[in-house]
Every structure is written in structure tokens, then in C-alpha cells.
């Protein structure tokens, strides 16, 4: 999603800069500056990427949707797939500086081997 957005923005404004890239309420928040930053076409692409981010798991990149831990009525919201939702709900995984880590070891983990039980 971010690579798609980058390619789109480069075509519209080769000098664009990302000022803000963060996650909030299970969605990406992206703010850019540049000569065409206020252009409706640029903003439409940024909005599309932000909306798409709600359908991609923040941990592994698989299809997902916005949920809270254990699907509670309130709490932290993340876009997650079912497998990562189970691990996140059990406090087994977390994101540190953009990388997924095990809460038990603090080490980075490969989600290809994530147990889905």
C-alpha cells in the first residue's frame, strides 16, 4: 500500500515529502507536503491509502479489519487478521519501532510461523 502510494505521489509531485506517517485507531495517518500537496488528486490518493490501511493486518500484512483486543467494546484498535488478532488478544505480540516482537522474549519474530490456535 505504501509503495503504491509512493509511486502515485512521485508521478504527481516528484518533490513531495512525508511529514507524518503513523497509525491511529487502526488506520494509517499520512500527511505530506510539496508543490502539489493540496491538489485534489494527491489528497484522493492519500485518502485511498489511509482507507485501504484499515483492511491490512498491521502485524503480518494479510487481509484484516479493525478490531479491539478480544473484540472488547472499548480499547486499543488495530487492523488485524484473525491469526494475529488471537496472538495480540493474548498479549503474545507487539510492534516496536515498526517490527513485530514477542512479548515474552522481546525478540523480533517471523509471523510466517505464527500459531493460529
Q: Scanning the structure block, which residue is given the C-alpha cell 495517518? A: 29
Please, are residues 42 and 13 in contact by the beta-carbon 8 Å criterion? yes
Give the mean model confidence (pLDDT) for residues 11-16.
91
Sequence spans of domains, the chain: 2-55, 65-113
Measured from the Cβ of residue 12, the count of other Cβ atoms closer than 10 Å reads 15
Q: Residue 115 pLDDT > 50, yes or no?
A: no
Q: Residue 111 pLDDT > 80, yes or no?
A: no
pLDDT value of residue 116? 38
Q: Residue 117 pLDDT > 50, yes or no?
A: no
CA–CA separation, 22 and 14 (whole Å): 22
Amino acid at each position: 500500500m505504501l509503495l503504491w502510494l509512493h509511486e502515485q505521489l512521485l508521478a504527481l509531485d516528484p518533490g513531495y515529502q512525508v511529514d507524518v506517517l503513523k497509525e491511529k485507531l487502526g488506520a494509517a495517518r499520512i500527511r505530506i507536503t510539496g508543490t502539489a500537496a493540496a491538489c485534489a488528486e494527491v489528497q484522493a490518493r492519500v485518502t485511498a491509502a489511509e482507507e485501504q490501511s484499515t483492511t491490512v493486518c498491521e502485524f503480518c500484512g494479510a487481509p484484516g479489519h479493525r478490531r479491539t483486543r478480544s473484540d472488547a467494546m472499548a480499547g486499543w484498535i488495530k487492523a488485524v487478521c484473525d491469526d494475529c488478532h488471537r496472538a495480540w488478544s493474548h498479549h503474545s505480540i507487539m510492534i516496536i519501532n515498526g517490527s513485530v516482537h514477542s512479548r515474552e522474549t522481546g525478540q523480533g519474530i517471523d509471523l510466517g510461523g505464527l500459531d493460529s490456535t
